[in-house]
DNA sequence: CTGAAAGCGCTTACAG
DNA sequence: CTGAAAGCGCTTACAG
């Protein structure tokens, strides 16, 4: 049988209330009994049962990490990194952590409120959600503190965490321009995704800033999908042969673009330069190595957890938190080819 | 405030016991009240609180996934896949799921029993453990049902899940021999790891079966580490120039070996053929693409959960469960170079 | 088929 | 500084 607070209390010759108090860090306990109880508890391998604790306490905090479309994420470790960051924060702060993987279909059968009810959630970090997902609407209607990763919502109980996608994209495209590129295409993600809009804005900003004309058809959408990106990139490069560089809103799409380029018999970066986004591990192993905008997903997860916790404690929290990003220069960008 | 069983009972005009019974699938309830309660519960977004349920019920099953050295796993998605498999099983069977990331250091401060106590664990799937980890010893001493991934323990409460590493390695080396290789080196992982021993046995078996002499110094240990593998592979190839192929006990080490080969000015597979192990996503993006033994970590996670559940229910479970593996042929293996 | 009541392992005012 | 007791949201024999 499991060891309970009763066992420890009996062993220490005190009431269960006293044992409970030492485990909750109350200060009005004599050092002597406190130490004795701690020692006995350690010997008996006792740790308060989390379920009982969360039931009995009105203040127990439980933060959920809700990962949408978790299964689809095999090629990058971003979901894992977010998990790692959220987990690290909850562990450091002794917050209960629960994990929930959902999908469009599952969102239909178990509502966000049902889930929160079931697990007594006090706050959630949500990743991978899209604006047309049922949970997005539910979160907007609920009062529950939520940190939304890579997604914006105008509500005081919600905090958005991401890198500054506009700025990061501007920098990436700026870098291409610095290398002499004047005709830069963009392979963007799903049109509706918040990050797509921001990354496109960044692209446009960079062109404007450098007085380069903005060609509408230079921007194509490949749904964050490698396979689609192959076709989109091929079509774009064939129809716009003056292009010398491609800015891609994800590394997976950049990899697709790279495939398209080599299938066309062109080389990177001599003919076409490519910059990706996310800086997934793969980049370093590609030939050529892919330059990319890096975002620290673990930090994003950590900060997301930190900010829901602020929201839970009703401390002032920013509505939009930006995490620093980077531009990792590798081999996929070179000077623009002459005559272009 | 959250909606509780009381709220639903009041709304439906029944006792909480009745509501509880319909949510626990009792059959001796009139269809009429059952349907009414379900309808009301759905409308109110009610789902039984898991903490209260696990406290009150003696039969509530909670399976933990314990991931050791989770942080170190950035380059492959194996941990994520195991998580995905375990999660899928627990969800399908309505089992409570809890996640716990540990490390050598954390194992020292929170014992396995304390953790199980805290989360009311009825069974655990454990991955990434080493024989000299404190938890390994604790698990051996405990009566708790545990599924150990890639690790063996001779105890009726423990079940081991992995691919048949001996057989898989034999097949991989056999394949190299089929391609004409007679001098095959092996870059193995940590000497103490169970999988290392099995994979080496498989290597030896293949040589024996084909009447090839076994040279002790053909086998080197690189700790499952890419960087170390670079050096080990270089040293091995320099000292044994007759080698035409390398069998590596992990893809990360194979990638290290590939680096060593190209740094030496040799090419793959013309000069040296390489086979890896694990079949991580990276393989498909390398140049040349890496051939490898594939293991379905998601399936392993799923089967691990299934088998702890059997153990929990005291159903007969095998002590050692093998999951099917594959040999994925890509570009890193060619015919042995002539004159060798 | 359904309800009243004890109990799961805790926390926390309330007394002293 | 410490204990007795109510209560958190459930489940489950026990009655009827």
What is the mean pLDDT of the segment spanning B209-232? 94
Full strand arrangement of the beta sheet holding A320-323: A96-102, A62-68, A123-127, A146-149, A158-163, A320-323
pLDDT at B267 over 70: yes
Flag if B282 and A285 touch (Cβ within 8 Å): yes
C1’ C11 / CA B313, Å: 33
pLDDT at A3 over 80: yes
Which stretch of B64-73, B136-145, B160-169 has the lowest confidence by average pLDDT?
A: B64-73
The 10s digit of each residue's pLDDT in A278-309 is 999 889 999 999 999 999 999 999 999 999 99
Specify the pLDDT at position A73.
65
How large a percentage of chain A has pLDDT more than 90? 83
What is the mean pLDDT of the segment spanning A165-184? 97
C1’ D8 / CA B18, Å: 20
SS (H, E, C) B30-54: CHHHHHHHHHHHHHCCCCCCHHHHH
- C-alpha A168: how far from its chain's center? 16
Q: Give the mutation candidate from B48, B105, B117 for the A interface (greatest A CB count, under 10 A).
A: B117
Flag if A114 and B47 touch (Cβ within 8 Å): yes
Specify the pLDDT at position A31.
85
What is the mean pLDDT of the segment spanning A244-259? 96
Q: What residues of chain B have any CB closer than 8 angstroms to a CB in chain A?
A: 2-3, 45-52, 54-55, 70-71, 73-75, 77, 79-81, 84, 87, 91, 97-99, 101, 110-111, 113-120, 255, 281-282, 285-287
Return positions of chain D under 7 A from a protein CB.
1-5, 7-13
Overall size of chain B counted in residues: 340
**What is the overall mean pLDDT for chain A?**
93
pLDDT at B175 over 90: yes
What is the mean pLDDT of the segment spanning B20-24? 92
**How many other C-beta atoms lie within 10 A of the C-beta of residue A18?**
20
Return d(Cα A23, Cα A30) in angstroms, integer.
Answer: 14
Report residue A310's pLDDT band, with 50, 70 and 90 as the boundaries.
Answer: very high
Four-CA torsion A87, A91, A92, A93, nearest 10 degrees:
110
Specify the pLDDT at position B75.
63
Return d(Cα B340, Cα B242) in angstroms, integer.
Answer: 6
Report residue B28's pLDDT band, with 50, 70 and 90 as the boundaries.
Answer: confident
Residue with tokens 């379900």: B38
**What is the overall mean pLDDT for chain B?**
93
How large a percentage of chain B has pLDDT more than 70? 98
Of B168, B197, B166, B174, the residue nearest B325 (C-alpha): B168
Return d(Cα A207, Cα A204) in angstroms, integer.
Answer: 5
The 10s digit of each residue's pLDDT in B279-299 is 998 899 999 999 999 999 999
Specify the pLDDT at position B29.
82
Report residue A170's pLDDT band, with 50, 70 and 90 as the boundaries.
Answer: very high
Return positions of chain C under 7 A from a protein CB.
1-5, 7-13
What is the mean pLDDT of the segment spanning B183-212? 94
**How many other C-beta atoms lie within 10 A of the C-beta of residue A42?**
12
pLDDT at B340 over 60: no
Return d(Cα B274, Cα B263) in angstroms, integer.
Answer: 15
The 10s digit of each residue's pLDDT in B55-64 is 998 889 999 9
**Cβ–Cβ < 8 Å for B250, B189:** yes
Specify the pLDDT at position A25.
87
Specify the pLDDT at position B58.
84
What is the mean pLDDT of the segment spanning B7-15? 91
Residues of B with Cβ-Cβ distance to A87 under 8 angstroms: 99, 101
Specify the pLDDT at position A71.
73
Comparing CB atoms, the residue among B52, B119, B282 nearest residue A282 is B282
Report residue A28's pLDDT band, with 50, 70 and 90 as the boundaries.
Answer: confident
The 10s digit of each residue's pLDDT in B112-157 is 999 999 999 999 999 999 888 999 999 999 999 999 999 999 999 9
What is the mean pLDDT of the segment spanning B195-219? 95
The verdict on whether omega for the bond into residue B288 sits within 30 degrees of 0, i.e. cis, is yes
Specify the pLDDT at position A258.
97
The 10s digit of each residue's pLDDT in A33-50 is 889 999 999 999 999 999
The 10s digit of each residue's pLDDT in A201-234 is 999 999 999 999 899 899 999 998 999 999 999 9
Report residue B302's pLDDT band, with 50, 70 and 90 as the boundaries.
Answer: very high
Specify the pLDDT at position B338.
77
Spell A198-224 as b/e; 16+ CB within 10 A means b. bbbebbbbbbeeeeeeeeeebbbbbbb
Specify the pLDDT at position B33.
87
Phi, psi of B29 (to 5 degrees): -130, 140
Return d(Cα B271, Cα B261) in angstroms, integer.
Answer: 9
What is the mean pLDDT of the segment spanning A330-335? 96
Nucleotide at minimal C1' distance from the B21 CA: D11
Specify the pLDDT at position A274.
98
Residue with tokens 């404007």: A208
Specify the pLDDT at position A202.
97
């Amino acid at each position: 049988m499991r060891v309970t607070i009763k066992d420890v209390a009996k062993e220490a010759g005190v009431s269960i209330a006293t044992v409970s108090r030492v485990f909750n860090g109350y200060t009005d306990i004599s050092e002597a009994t406190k130490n004795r109880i701690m020692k006995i508890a350690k010997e008996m391998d006792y740790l308060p049962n989390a379920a009982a604790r969360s039931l009995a306490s009105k203040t127990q905090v439980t933060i959920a990490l809700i990962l949408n479309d978790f299964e689809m994420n095999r090629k990058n470790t971003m979901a894992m990194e977010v998990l790692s960051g959220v987990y690290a924060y909850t562990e450091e702060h002794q917050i209960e952590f629960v994990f929930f993987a959902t999908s469009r279909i599952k969102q239909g059968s178990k509502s966000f409120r049902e889930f929160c009810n079931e697990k007594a959630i006090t706050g959630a970090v949500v990743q991978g959600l899209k604006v047309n997902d049922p949970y997005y609407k539910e979160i907007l209607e609920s009062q529950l503190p939520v940190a939304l990763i890579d997604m914006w919502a105008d509500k005081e109980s919600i905090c958005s965490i991401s890198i500054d996608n506009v700025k990061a994209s501007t920098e990436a495209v700026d870098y291409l321009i610095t290398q002499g590129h004047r005709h830069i295409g963009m392979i963007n993600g799903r049109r509706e995704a918040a990050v797509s809009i921001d990354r496109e804005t960044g692209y446009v900003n960079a062109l404007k800033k450098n007085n380069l004309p903005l060609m509408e058809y230079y921007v194509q959408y490949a749904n964050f999908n490698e396979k689609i990106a192959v076709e989109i990139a091929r079509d774009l490069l064939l129809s716009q042969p003056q292009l010398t560089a491609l800015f891609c809103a994800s590394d997976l799409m950049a990899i697709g673009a790279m495939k398209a380029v080599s299938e066309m018999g062109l080389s990177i970066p001599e003919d076409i330069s490519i910059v990706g986004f996310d800086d997934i591990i793969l980049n370093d192993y590609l030939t050529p190595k892919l330059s990319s905008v890096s975002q620290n997903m673990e930090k994003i997860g950590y900060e997301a957890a930190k900010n829901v916790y602020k929201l839970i404690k009703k401390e002032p929290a920013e509505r939009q938190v930006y995490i620093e990003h980077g531009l990792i220069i590798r081999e996929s960008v070179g000077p623009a080819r002459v005559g272009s």
